[in-house]
Structure formats: structure tokens, C-alpha cells
Structure 1
Amino acid sequence: MEVPPIDSHLGMLTYMSGGSPINGRLREKLSDFIVDEVLLGKRASRAFLGIDKFEGGGASYLVVMKRVRMDSFEMISKLSKKLGRRVGYAGMKDARSISFQFISVQGSLRELPEMEGLSLRYAGRGEMIYLGMNDGNHFTVVIRGADTIELPKIFPNFFSYQRFGVKRPYNHEIGKAILLRDIEGASSMISEQGYEVSAARSLKQLSEMIGSELIRFYVHSYQSYIFNLILSRRIELGIGPRHGDFVLRPNGEIALYPERGSLLLPLVGGLTEARGWLAEELASILREEGVSKEMFIFRELPEVSALGDFRKAFCEVEPKIVEREGFIVLSFFLESGAYATSYLREIIKPRDPIAQGFI
């Protein structure tokens, strides 16, 4: 089945399940998409309401924020500046949603600031929260305009639309320009996103203007795009075990086929190694892209280097469904790093992801 043009731009070249596209629409109302983070077994919405608290000690204040129509990266940056302190968080949340999320604040915290689109509540004391620390997220999603839907129990773990941005220049395109050391091209695209970086002539100068964390985000976005391409090719090849597979064993160890476990695919970086089918496909993709894994090492700015990692190729899900006249309510939990819109894409197969509320 042919995918929409935007999916092709983002490396999502196929679907895993059969079936035809349906006319389901997301986010016609703000309350149609609710994200509830789970950290150490506690749901953020319950902590926000004062039902659950973290009773242990720790050097950081734990805070729950209810965020409405606000980009995670922008919000964390503004909050950190307002507090004058480092703010820790476990993951990015969809901007077009009502999101409940845990954050940590180092040092003393006399009062919680007021910010438009943001409500904050104390949740106790604990350790600093870092990326990927959360258990995952619980989603409540309303699909309108669909009479019936089929719910797969497994789906491709694509990096979804939110990772790359709403329109061009996409974040991964900027990441590729940075990888190619095309600072002029990268700066031009970053300027289109609203940053003043036209004077940057080197990666270090660019970092001084927008910060190394944002540069790292662009590089990681390009990693995500390459991952999507690899995952698309693996689906087309078939999902059965193959020579060259890396798997995550039940005990948390990474092993090679014929060991059994959850299939892993690489987030390519400077130290990525591959064999079998994966070596062939990865070499082909990098060649087509005109890049090499060594380019992910930035000696001129080491803190933005990407050495490589792994990510699950597929996610399992146990959705609950309530059908109403004119709409369907889905409730499901996804582990940390998985995108609800990747699961919903597999269900709806949108002809126009923007018009149907995926972005």
C-alpha cells in the first residue's frame, strides 16, 4: 500500500498490517488526546490530583505539570529559565494534547511559577529525572468519523511525525546538514524555524547561539530517520528471525540470533556494528544518503556526538476500546519511547495525516 508523501519524507515507507485506510480523525477537540506519564509505577495525573505522592527522599523536587498545547522542548526551556535551575524530564510529549508529566528541579524551590498553558503541582522529593527514565505513557484517544476499527496487538516502533516537526525543513534534514558539516545550510533551515543563527560560521558558533542540546536533538532526529528506513526495509523483508538480528533477551541482555528475544534495530552512530542482512541494508541506506557512521562523531563539539544505540523494532500493546455513536475511545499503555501516533497510523492508515489530526 502506498503511503502519504509526508510518511515517505520521514522514512515510514510501509505498514505492517493489512486493511484499507479509514476516515478516522484525531484531535478535533483538545480533550481527544490525553497523555498520562507513568514514572516508577505512578501515573502523573493521580499525582497532579494529590492521590499519589513520592514519599522517599532525594536531592530534587518532583513536580507534575499539566500542559496544554505547548511544545515539550520549548516548555522545558522556558521553565528552566524562569526557575534559574536545571529541569529534568523523561521524554517529549505531543504538543497537541493535554499532557500530565513529571519533572524534577534541582536545589531549593520556594514556589511554583505560573505560566500560560501550564499548571504545576508538587509531587514529593526524589532523584533527578533523566531521558528515558519513565515506565511509559498511558494514552486516552478519541477517533471520530470511524464506525469500526481493527486493533493490532503489535505495531512498528517508528519514530513518528512529532519527532521531525510539522513542516519542512524537518528536524532530520537539519541533522543531516549538520552531519555533512554544512553549517550554512543548517543555519538557513534553523533560521526558518525561528532562531537567529545567520551569523554562524562553525558548529561551535552555532552551539553558542542555540545550545548544544538543540544541536544534539537535530542529530538524533537524523538517527531516527535512518532507523525508520531500516525498519521499513525489515518489514518488507519479513519480520521472522534472520542472521544478523540483534535481540533483547528477557533478562535485559542484548544478544545475536539465534538467541530469542525482541528484535532490536540500530540507532546508527560512530560505533555501530552490523552483520548479515543488517550490514547489507545499513550500508545501502548510508550510501544512498551520502553519509557514513563516522560522521556522527564531532571532534569539534564532542557533546553532540552520537556513538550509536538500539531501539525495539516492534511494540506490543493491549488496547481497550469503547465505541460510541460517532466516535471511538481508545485507551492503551506504551513503553517509554514509543509513539501513540505510530500505533494509530497502523490502525487508520491516514491518506492525509495532517488533515486527520496526526500532526
Structure 2
Amino acid sequence: MAALAYARGAAPDARAELRQQPADFFVDEDCDIALSGSGEHLWCRIEKTGLNTQDAVQALSRATGVHPRQIGFAGMKDRVAVTRQWLSIAWPIARDLPDLPDLDGLEGIEILEMDRHERKLKRGAHRGNRFVLRLRELAGDRDVLEADLARVREQGVPNYFGAQRFGHGGRNLGLSRALFAGKRLSRNRRGFALSAARSLLFNAVVDARVRDASWNALIDGEAVMLDGSHSVFALAETDQGRDELEQRLARFDIHPSGPMAGRGGDDVISGRARELEEGVLGEYADLVAGLKACDVEAGRRALRLSVPSLEWQFEDERTLTLSFWLPPGAFATSVLREIVDTTSDS
């Protein structure tokens, strides 16, 4: 991750420590689904400390006797953090509601609220996440830091996948290569392997576009993505004029996009955009071939992540608090890396 290019041209001058304690990294899942109050799924809003989402699922499974596959969640959350999110548990109507707060085995988990609903909570069903991050032992030129904060709020950041996507020490990429070499993996580990491979390839393309100074620009043959959706259109096929497209780009209505590698999807790009992507992906031919062999369907992801909600407050000379909202799939660490160096953060 440290080798990936920075939009600011170099690593930030400011340094700080993140996650001296879990509360320094607070995440609140933004899920606006209206619960019906009836149905065979019990939705629980939890606050967990020192546990990732899979840890919480396993704990709830042990406490309730419900198989982990019958427990749904919208997004994965960090372990070294205090996070709030919704989970759903398959719970027949005829079965009395559990007294979850009193169940054994839920250390680190607080049940904030619960209600019934007709459907299981699906991955990606949330609107996004609200973050409050406290940076301690802050050092560096404050004027430069505030300029970086203002720039990020105004221009956004490269939409890199964060280091956590690749597992501790990059172990998920090891799973990728094992899977593509023919090793059988469990359902969860297979998912981690495929996701890590696609994320590495996407990051490599973003890195190339940042170095090309085109991560936030529309280039010839671009596949253009609508903000807040997965809808993509080919720049070469639109009837809109260049000036109109540039205006939409400036107000973050559209973004340039990069590949989520897999089977198909090559017809949406052409020209310089295609040449650039093929040049990058050609360096990882084994991963591209492995994803296609696993019948993963290709997709696109915005190269640029906007952060208009970014706010900051200096609690004292050595402590900075940041707050912002991000859509599903975006990484707070990708915002941070353009503002402050936290490489000592484990």
C-alpha cells in the first residue's frame, strides 16, 4: 500500500498514531431500511468493540444456536474499532424473542435495538458509514495539514481498496494464488481470495492513473460511472458534449472508472483508457486468468472517492479528530493516507 501513488504527489508531511485504543476509530453504519416489526428475521443493531463482523456473527451464532449462514450483515467492519451495525438472525415467528443482552458469549457486543423484519439483511444494503477518527501524537506543519484537509474535501481522493482487504500481511493474496493453482477453499476463504485479487488489480490501475494525473479526469475511451450507482456508460458512445461532461465531472456527478477484473466487460472501454488498463493488467496475467477461470463477472468501480462531508477539529496541539461519511465499499484509510501518515498503525 505504501508504494501506491498519492494524489498530492508524495506521502503526507504530517504524522500521527491511529487506534491507540478502539474508540479512536468509530464507525456507525448508515442503514435506513424501515423494519416492519414482523417476519422471520430478527434484526439487531449492535455496538461491538475489539471484534470484526465475522467475530460478531460467530458470537451471535454460538449464543443463539443459529448457523452463521443464517445471520446476515450489510458490510464488514474493523476489529480495532468501536463499530455499530445491523445484523439479521433467522428467527421463526413461533419462537419467542431472545433476551440477547443476557446471553453468554457476547463479550464486546452490546445490543442497541432489535426488531423483526421479513427479509434477511443482504451485503451492501446499507447507504454507507459514518466515521469519527481520533489521531493522536500529531506532528507536522499545521498549515500544510489544513491545506491537505481542504484539498481532500474539495477534490476527493483516489478510491483505493484499503490494506484490510488483503488480510494481515497480505495473506488473502496468498489464498488467491492457492485458489487459482487448484486448491479447494471454504466458501468464506474463497470469497476473500477472489476479492483480494480483484482489489489488487483495481489498485494497480488506480495507481497508474494517479501517476498519469488522470485519476480524476476523463480520458479517451473512458468508461464513465454515475455517482452513487454502478451504472456505467462509454464516453465514446454518449451524445453529451465535452463541456457538459466536464461540468458533471467537476460537480462529482460522474467519475472515471477502473476494472473489477473478471469475465466480460471489455466492450465498455476503448482508446487510451483500454490501452492503459491492458498494460497494467498484463503484468498480472495469472490473477486475471484465475478470476476468469473462477467465472467471476467483471465490473467497474469509480477511480475517485468524494468526501464532501469531511470535517476536522484540533482537540489540542497533538490530537486531531476527523469525521466524514463514505458510501459502501469505500475505505476510511484511503482518505487518511492523503492527509496524514499513520504507517505505524498496525
Return the match for 2:221 from 241, 244, 252: 244
Question: What SS class does the counterpart of residue 15 from structure 2 fall into?
Answer: coil
The answer (yes or no) to whether the contact 1:66–1:101 under 8 Å persists in 2 is yes
Q: Equivalences for 1:60-71 in 2 at 5 Å?
A: 60-71=41-52
Greater alpha carbon shift after TM alignment, 247-256 vs 127-136: 247-256
Alpha-carbon RMSD: 2.4
Question: What SS class does the counterpart of residue 73 from structure 1 fall into?
Answer: helix
Give the direction of change, closer, same or farther, for the CA distance of 1:14–1:179 in structure 2 (3 Å limit): same
| Cα drift, residue 16 of structure 1 | 0.8
The answer (yes or no) to whether the contact 2:165–2:195 under 8 Å persists in 1 is no
Return the match for 1:309 from 278, 299, 304: 299
Alignment of 1:291 onto 2:273? no
The answer (yes or no) to whether the contact 2:29–2:129 under 8 Å persists in 1 is yes
Structure 1 segments unaligned to the other structure (5+ residues): 1-5, 42-52, 184-202, 299-303
For 2:285 and 2:225, how far apart are their aligned partners in 1?
30
For 1:243 and 1:107, how far apart are their aligned partners in 2?
53
Q: Which residue of 2 aligns with 1:46?
A: none
The answer (yes or no) to whether the contact 1:60–1:125 under 8 Å persists in 2 is yes
Greater alpha carbon shift after TM alignment, 114-123 vs 240-249: 114-123
For 2:80 and 2:286, how far apart are their aligned partners in 1?
34
| Cα drift, residue 58 of structure 1 | 4.2
For 1:232 and 1:287, how far apart are their aligned partners in 2?
15
Q: Which residue of 1 aligns with 2:234?
A: 256
Question: What SS class does the counterpart of residue 225 from structure 1 fall into?
Answer: helix
Letter in 1 for 2:193: Y
Alignment of 1:172 onto 2:201? no
| Cα drift, residue 55 of structure 1 | 4.8
| Cα drift, residue 250 of structure 1 | 5.7
Give TM-score scaled by structure 2 length. Answer: 0.79
The answer (yes or no) to whether the contact 1:61–1:122 under 8 Å persists in 2 is no
Question: What SS class does the counterpart of residue 290 from structure 1 fall into?
Answer: helix
Letter in 1 for 2:198: Q
Tell me the alpha carbon deviations over residues 316-339 of structure 1, each in whole angstroms, 9 at most, x when there is no partner: 112111112120111111111111
Give the direction of change, closer, same or farther, for the CA distance of 1:282–1:73 in structure 2 (3 Å limit): farther
For 2:333 and 2:228, how far apart are their aligned partners in 1?
29
Q: Equivalences for 1:1-359 in 2 at 5 Å?
A: 6-8=1-3, 13-18=4-9, 20-40=12-32, 54-55=35-36, 57-80=38-61, 82=63, 83-85=65-67, 86-108=70-92, 110-111=97-98, 112=100, 113-114=103-104, 115-126=106-117, 127-146=119-138, 148=142, 149=145, 150-151=148-149, 152-153=152-153, 154-168=156-170, 170-181=171-182, 183=183, 203=184, 207=185, 211-239=186-214, 240-249=217-226, 252=229, 253-257=231-235, 259=238, 260=245, 261-273=254-266, 274-291=269-286, 293-298=288-293, 305-317=295-307, 318-325=309-316, 326-350=318-342, 353=343, 355=344, 357=345, 359=346
Letter in 2 for 1:308: A
For 1:145 and 1:59, how far apart are their aligned partners in 2?
49
Give TM-score scaled by structure 1 length. Answer: 0.77
Letter in 2 for 1:100: R
Greater alpha carbon shift after TM alignment, 70-79 vs 217-226: 70-79
Question: What SS class does the counterpart of residue 21 from structure 1 fall into?
Answer: coil
The answer (yes or no) to whether the contact 1:24–1:146 under 8 Å persists in 2 is yes
Question: What SS class does the counterpart of residue 286 from structure 2 fall into?
Answer: coil
Letter in 2 for 1:263: P
Question: What SS class does the counterpart of residue 86 from structure 2 fall into?
Answer: strand
| Cα drift, residue 131 of structure 1 | 1.2
For 1:246 and 1:132, how far apart are their aligned partners in 2?
23
For 2:262 and 2:60, how far apart are their aligned partners in 1?
31
| Cα drift, residue 294 of structure 1 | 4.3
Q: Which residue of 2 aligns with 1:48?
A: none
| Cα drift, residue 63 of structure 1 | 0.5
The answer (yes or no) to whether the contact 2:66–2:89 under 8 Å persists in 1 is no
For 2:260 and 2:127, how far apart are their aligned partners in 1?
21
Q: How many residues align?
A: 302
For 1:174 and 1:121, how far apart are their aligned partners in 2?
36
Identity of aligned residues (%): 23
Structure 2 segments unaligned to the other structure (5+ residues): 239-244, 246-253
Q: Which residue of 2 aligns with 1:194?
A: none
For 1:146 and 1:235, how far apart are their aligned partners in 2?
27
| Cα drift, residue 32 of structure 1 | 0.9
Q: Which residue of 1 aligns with 2:249?
A: none
| Cα drift, residue 79 of structure 1 | 3.0
Tell me the alpha carbon deviations over residues 33-73 of structure 1, each in whole angstroms, 9 at most, x when there is no partner: 101000017xxxxxxxxxxx835544421101211111223
